Chain A
Amino acid sequence: MLRITADMFSGRPDPISDITEENEVRVLLREVESNRNLFLSKAPAEAGLGVRGFRIEPLNDEFERDLGVDSTLYLPVGAQARGSRAAEIGERLVTLMERGAPFSSGAAAQPLDASLREFLIAQLSAPSQLSVTDRPATAEVDAEAEQHSEEATAAAACIIELGKFNPGFWNNDSTVRSRNNCYNYASNWRTDTFAQPGLGCGSVYKAFTRAELTRASLCDGMHHRYNCFPDSEKPRPLVALVIAPGIDFHWYRKQVEGFWGHKPGSYPARNTDNSGNVINDPEKANRGPYTEFCGYFYGCISQARRIR
């Protein structure tokens, strides 16, 4: 027997359902076993408001034998999901919860009624990224036109993709956290190699200068901002490059929430600057010694796959 909790509310108690029908439990356990990488042992610390995931707990000692775990499994969904199948499994759990017996701890229990089901399913299928038009302000067009006259005048607006902020993907596993850096984060591509601009295209940067880092990043397949990629190159994130002259480089990636995320080396991904403020503008953020702002770029899927 299993207990499933939909981890979704902030004020009301979460809906809980006990699944007692043995066949349903067996089917679910098989599903869990074959998608084990999607599950955690507990809810990620970074979870926010809205549907965060599902907690599966044993109600007898067979769970441990069948799953090889001693207590709870947690399926993160939405921004914290660990794979594209998480939403599909989440929908199955919702269906199971409907069939199961609502659990009441004595407080105001929440049965999984039709309206809650509708809300849950809608949240599960919400896209983790959004295509938006990235259009320069008039003054920006003039400045760009002076620098890159053909590119900027040819494309006054580009469609790009902004992803949800999902630091758990980079932070929860110590291997992922320690072996992926700001370039991995900006490219939204885990290589476990501490990726370096230009290494993937065979021409890594030779100095920590704006010109060299720009050259190496374009070589990997990035574009200057407003030099559009076609739809076939989705996702096309907006990223920003800064340098500590002569010392190091750093990247930021714009998130769908409007702020910018980044990952300082082997340290956890975050959306705050050196002053602890949420980064709404990487040009104005406290960047410590990374004093030179080098510009905005677009990443794309070929670039992400190329990085090393």
Chain B
Amino acid sequence: MRRIAALPPAPQRAAPLQGLGYRGMRITGDPAVSIVEIVVSGGVVIVRDRNGAERVLQDTGRALERSLVGLATATLDPAEMSVLRQELRE
């Protein structure tokens, strides 16, 4: 959360990936907290709160996304990890 808090706002037209294939990482947490979802996708981070408000932040070089994929290594199967790594290389 500290890393996300330090991210700068994204440029106005920045948008997450939406096509077929890997579209990014989605973090959901305790419904009791004010932030209900964080989407980290293609250099953009979207933080959604309980009231439906959104903050759109910039993930320069997809650094945050890469570190989340690193965290997921233990739980994803090798074929899924291969797709993720390939997408992140592009």
Q: Mark B1-42, 1 if CB is under 8 A from A, else 0.
A: 000000000000000001111110000000000000000000
CB–CB B21/A273 < 8 A: no
B80 within 8 A of A: yes
Q: Mark A268-306, 1 if CB is under 8 A from B, else 0.
A: 100001100000000000111110000000000000000
Residues of chain B within 8 A (CB-CB) of A264 are: 18-20, 23
The B interface is mostly helix, strand or loop, or mixed, namely: loop
Residues of chain A within 8 A (CB-CB) of B18 are: 264, 267-268
A246-B79, A247-B79 given; A289·B19 CB < 8 A:
no
B37-90, CB < 8 A from A: 79-80, 83, 86-87
Give the size category of A's interface with B.
10 to 19
CB distance from A154 to the nearest CB of B (A): 35
CB–CB B21/A274 < 8 A: yes
Q: Which of B22, B23, B80, B87 is the one whose CB lies under 8 Å from A267?
A: B23
CB distance from A164 to the nearest CB of B (A): 23
CB distance from B37 to the nearest CB of A (A): 11
CB–CB B21/A290 < 8 A: yes
Q: Which of B19, B80, B83 is the one whose CB lies under 8 Å from A274?
A: B19
* Bound CA–CA A250/B22 (angstroms): 13
CB distance from B75 to the nearest CB of A (A): 16
Residues of chain B within 8 A (CB-CB) of A265 are: 23
A141 within 8 A of B: no
CB–CB B79/A290 < 8 A: no
* Bound CA–CA A286/B20 (angstroms): 9
* Bound CA–CA A164/B20 (angstroms): 22
Residue of A with least CB distance to B52: A174
* Bound CA–CA A286/B18 (angstroms): 13
Q: Which of B19, B22, B83, B86 counts the most chain A CB atoms within 10 A?
A: B19
Residues of chain A within 8 A (CB-CB) of B86 are: 289
Residues of chain B within 8 A (CB-CB) of A273 are: 19-20
CB–CB B80/A287 < 8 A: no
A244 within 8 A of B: yes
Q: Identify 23 residue pairs between A and B in the complex whose beta-carbon atoms are under 8 Å apart, listed by A's number.
A: A244-B21, A244-B83, A246-B79, A247-B80, A247-B83, A250-B20, A264-B18, A264-B19, A264-B20, A265-B23, A267-B23, A273-B20, A274-B19, A274-B21, A286-B19, A288-B19, A288-B21, A289-B20, A289-B21, A289-B83, A289-B86, A289-B87, A290-B21
* A interface residues with partner B (beta carbon < 8 Å): 244, 246-247, 250, 264-265, 267-268, 273-274, 286-290
Q: A244-B21, A247-B80, A265-B23 are in contact. List 18 more A-B contacts (CB 8 A).
A: A244-B83, A246-B79, A247-B83, A250-B20, A264-B19, A264-B23, A273-B20, A274-B19, A286-B19, A287-B20, A288-B19, A289-B20, A289-B21, A289-B22, A289-B83, A289-B87, A290-B20, A290-B21
